[in-house]
Chain A
């Protein structure tokens, strides 16, 4: 499994003062699957995502994305290596239109030349045309093509979440990290979201999904990793994990063992 893992993390540790938010996490995500990271509130799910994406670096450990060590790399470098993400609290670009939000990421691996821009020459126009194509394709994938020219802030909440996914897709990632993508969505919207995630996996993108709502992820995930208090307490197929007594304990309470 390790030979064809797209994410290989070893001993990832993150401390906030005295609190150990991640305590030597090992994580292998095989290429082309949907893997969920679940756990109670404060178990370290988002901290793990931040460490993987470089948003907030780990203090120790090794993280490889597609064989490339990304530990302590700046987030834009990690993004250019093919890792994209969404955020738990929405972070869209409020002063850009819907399509422009997506275009920001579609320009991910293109060098910008001030000279070409100022001259508006053929190279610049070709580059912008391709950015536009990629952005429209990404909007199409999440079903927001009809909203391309709206202001991003005019979109309802659930569509802003989809916009974040489109933006992440526009950089043509190999790995997509989704941080509670269904938060604030109703049942219908969540179901559509799950279908979209399944489609992405079928197109070859590896999806790492952080989710608080366990029932939601069980159906779609190929593998589930369970965190509790910054440690990995279980890993396996959804049904294996659901039967794991430690997992049940973590979710049902009985925290006194940590006290």
Chain B
């Protein structure tokens, strides 16, 4: 029972915060932070656990968003779009994943950056369908059999519930044979193979699960923000997602959420500094990496109530 108090505290805080701030703009920001957290959780399967660098995650996010936007604008009922976005993005992850399974490090980084750029260029140039650089507006909202959230606050509660589910599934995978196989693959591919782990399959599964998270987040982004443009899913966004993972704590589920929320809110909180905010932001990121290489999540374990080792 004593071990569940952090979860209860986190849940209580998550439910109370938007009621406390009562500011539509901040709640909207929190909503984007939650969506980013889901995408970073997805990235964590691939990069944090299976150890495969991936700068294609923003493109998967974008593919999920554009799939839902285009489909609902064409009249498809919303209820079909989460699954549709996930299926489209998983298919894209196979297109990227299958031929690049053998690549590592710089080569994989280059390939995934290239993939992201291809997706961005298609979105920018396929104007009749994607709206080009000006994006798509007036995307139909979330609607389940005629019921749907109204206003930022209701969207917030829907999104935070989705995030809780995403965390739960990530946690279950982490504590299963599949999660251990992912981390084993990262730590020593040859030792994992000799222990009976099909490392090629494990890496591909991590890639597909990560893409599915991005696809779902993309779907929810399109139908809760209701406006999308290529800028939100560019290469810069891919680097930002990777930074969230590193600053939060590579391989840590809690770290993914902390990193995504911190790096979504921080630029807005520092806005009063004008152009100087980037300097402070950069210094902050460097400070975390230098002082806590395990990310913000590792700071918690440095406190006196240290839990006994890994589970």
Contacts and interface: CB of A to CB of B under 8 A. Distances in A.
Interface string B167-189: 00100110111101101101110
B21 interface: no
Contact of B191 (A74, A87, A109): A87
A114 B45 CA distance: 13
Contacts of B198: 74, 76
A181 B269 CA distance: 56
A128 interface: yes
Given A93-B183, A118-B169, A151 B196 contact: no
Contact of B195 (A95, A118, A167): A167
A55 interface: yes
Contacts of B311: 97, 149
Nearest to A149: B309
Interface in A54-109: 54-55, 74-76, 78-80, 84-85, 87, 91-97, 100-101, 103-105, 107-109
B310 A100 contact: yes
A75 B194 contact: yes
B23 interface: no
Given A74-B193, A80-B196, A95 B251 contact: yes
Given A76-B196, A76-B197, A108-B196, A93 B178 contact: no
Contact of A100 (B180, B197, B199, B209): B180
Given A104-B181, A117-B176, A131-B177, A97 B310 contact: yes
Contacts of A112: 176-178, 181
Contacts of B194: 53-55, 75-76, 78-79, 84-85
Contacts of A212: none
A117 B196 contact: no
Contacts, number: 116
Contact of B186 (A84, A95, A149): A95
Nearest to B51: A95
B206 to A, nearest CB: 11
Contacts of B292: none
B311 to A, nearest CB: 7
Interface residues of A, number: 45
B309 A75 contact: no
Contacts of B310: 96-97, 100, 149, 151
A80 B194 CA distance: 9
Interface string A25-65: 00000000000000000000000000001110000000000
A77 to B, nearest CB: 8
B190 interface: yes
Contacts of B217: none
Contacts of B193: 54-55, 74-76, 79
B19 interface: no
Contacts of B216: none
Contact of A75 (B169, B184, B190, B308): B190
A103 B187 contact: no
Contacts of B178: 112, 114, 117
Contacts of B183: 93, 95-96, 100
A117 B180 CA distance: 13
Contacts of A131: 177
A104 B195 contact: yes
A110 interface: yes
15 contacts: A53-B194, A55-B194, A78-B194, A79-B194, A92-B187, A95-B186, A112-B177, A112-B178, A112-B181, A120-B172, A128-B176, A131-B177, A149-B309, A149-B310, A171-B195
Given A93-B184, A93-B191, A107-B177, 4 more contacts: A76-B198, A93-B183, A107-B196, A110-B177
Interface of B: 169, 172-173, 175-178, 180-181, 183-184, 186-188, 190-199, 205, 209, 251, 308-311
| 6 interchain residue pairs of minimum CB distance | A108-B196, A107-B177, A105-B195, A75-B193, A91-B191, A79-B196
